[in-house]
Amino acid sequence: MPNKEEINARKVAHQERALAVEAAATQEARDLTADEAAEVDSELAALDRLQAEFTRLERLESHTELLSRPAGRKAEPDDPAVLVGDGEGDVRLARTGAGRRNWTPSVPAIARDRYADACFGFRHLGDFALSVRRACIGGGMDRRLELSESLAAATTYGSEGSGADGGFAVPPEFRSEIMTTIQGEDSLLARCDQVSCTGNNFTQPVDETTPWQTSGGILATWDGEAQAANQSKPQTQERTVKLNKLRVLVPLTEEILEDAAAMDSYLRKKAPQKILYKINAAIVSGGGSGMPLGILNSPARITVAKESGQLTGTFIGANATKMYARMYGPSRSSAVWLYNQEIEPQLYKLSLPGTDNTGAAATNWGQLIWIPPGGVSSSPYSTLMGRPMIPTQACSALSTEGDIIFADLSQYLALLKSGPNPRVDVSMHLWFDQDLTAYKFTLRMGGLPWWSTPMLPAQGANTLSAFVTLQTR
């Protein structure tokens, strides 16, 4: 009979084969063929069989340990045990030698199998972190950590380990909660065209020809009776995106670890905040080397010129209307304004002057083009030219290009690593001499605008794009 490590290795192999079949169909934008669907079902059935074998082996080991455990005569009574509810049963806190504490889950038989759920029986991230700390300082191995050993992180020496030697990977349920925060209301990533991949890069054929082009790509022509049809062929390019790595390393002191609730709140709040800002900043201004390519560095963006004589530090109605005019028409319904909050005082006086029947400006009347949040629009964001305005710290300083951006983020490709993403690991060895425990969050992501250049219109000279900025004033 294979051991648990061999079973896990075989499970990984079956899973990778199934994901490879799915990824091939996804890349080609098609459904699985009958043979491919049968292959995926076969791999999943093999995974189910291996999981059942793994569970049987664990139960057998557990019973063997219980039967072989010596039952010596007690010389003196143990200290009273304290029972703490954990949602699945009780956790018994008992005293052991040298005053150490040993935490052992006391789980009712009906609930034992439920320890294999997503959280392995942990109530929250703080509960998990305290169990890791106790195991690392010799306070006893929590059974819930034993059940999560298949997620053990690699040691600093590059070998696989478990327990205090190899560190512990955070259960996937907690990873999901962190990702939910990243995908929150103010996340630009949530508005992008997201694609998952199993490898390190993604390649997609892209056709950037327009319907009104008269040469190149697929063409439509009016033909006369009995006239031979004009031939045309697709004109595609390959767009390749590579995954980059974004990491957060969080050291926590022994003092804050003593309070599980405080530590749990701290991790859930701070790490996602740091990741969220870096993602937003990369989408807006990423350089493309070791990180996603941002809008401000994309050759597809259009920079609208400032008005003649326009003062520094200003944003006026003419800027807004000209930026709106350069947004590709079909993208306007999903486009949003990204802006630095320093521009807000300019918005309160934003309007367009009226004109008389000769076209001359009439200063005695005009039209507001900006509506504050909760006003006539009744939306959580203010609106400019009818589109939401989203303040973000990723935008440039007032009066520089990028302080306000009109963008259709559905035309921005965000490539995310499939599986647990972000991955979260815990180690006490990095700053052992300072009594700090390290929590590492790793996100794999790549990104760039789908467009490589602005679009020429069917009529007229001004190019169009899904990403429009305003020149530095």
Show the domains of the chain with their CATH numbers: 78-164 (no CATH), 295-354+367-415+451-470 (3.30.2320)
Higher pLDDT, 284 or 158: 284
State pLDDT tens for residues 187-210. 899 899 998 888 888 887 787 777
How does 195-214 read in b/e, with b if 16+ C-beta sit within 10 Å?
bbbbeeebebeeebbeeeee
Q: What is the mean pLDDT of the chain?
A: 76
Q: What is the pTM of this model?
A: 0.62
**For residues 153 and 281, what is the distance between their CA atoms, to the nearest angstrom?**
29
How much is the pLDDT for 357? Answer: 56
The residue-averaged pLDDT of 175-193 equals: 76
Q: Percent of the chain beyond pLDDT 70?
A: 70
Which tokens sit at 286?
A: 């990423």
C-alpha pair distances (Å), 29 with each of 23, 24, 210, 211, 429: 10, 9, 21, 21, 46
Higher pLDDT, 86 or 410: 410
Decide: helix, strand or coil at residue 9.
Answer: helix
The candidate with the shortest Cα–Cα distance to 284, out of 331, 321, 337, is: 337
CB 302 within 8 A of CB 455: no
State pLDDT tens for residues 289-332. 999 999 999 999 999 999 999 999 999 888 999 999 999 999 99
Residue 183 carries which side chain, given as an amino acid letter?
A: Q
The residue-averaged pLDDT of 364-389 equals: 71
